[in-house]
Amino acid sequence: MLDANVLIAALLRDSTTRKLIAMGGIDLHAPAYLFEETQEHFGELLDRSGISASALAEVFRILRGYITEHPVEVYEGHLERAMEILGDSDPRDAPYVALALAIEADALWTEDRGLRNLSGVRTLRTHELVR
């Protein structure tokens, strides 16, 4: 399970995060929402990445191929519980937590400070996956 900030980090630079997605042997899952959210910010990502639009689109296509995408129907029954777990955190993170619950993910890979130490969903940061 991974969230938007992990995918965005992988899109922006050839990094450990990108290598973990593409070569880490990790079974990765995400709500379809992740890809919609990322595409909505493509222009901003293009500015931040310093690469051409076609190169960024190609990196996005390749990385997306390593992630199993799940429609809302898979996790919608867990959204209420996800909101409870999130408490005062950003409600836009609910699909990630709900999917983690729905598929009984080992962990949610995130660098989002608001998602650390969730009750009921284990979270991991990139440096923890490297270990």
CATH code for position 42? 3.40.50.1010
How far apart CA 103 and CA 46 sit, in angstroms, is 32
Number of domains in the chain: 1
Whole-model pTM over 0.95: no
pLDDT score of 126: 94
Give the tens place of pLDDT for each residue, 13-63. 889 999 999 997 899 999 998 999 899 989 999 999 989 999 999 999 999
pLDDT of residue 54: 96
Strand, helix or coil at 90? coil
Q: E strand or H helix at 67, and its extent?
A: strand 67-70
- Vertex 6 angle, CA 77 and 34, to 5°: 40
Longest CA pairwise span in the chain (Å):
41
pLDDT > 70: what percent of the chain? 100
What is the domain range of residue 41? 4-130
Backbone angles phi, psi at 29, to 5 degrees: -135, 150
pLDDT (0 to 100) of residue 131: 81
Residue 89 has what pLDDT? 87
Q: Which residues 6+ apart lie within 8 Å of 122 measured at CB?
A: 106, 107, 108
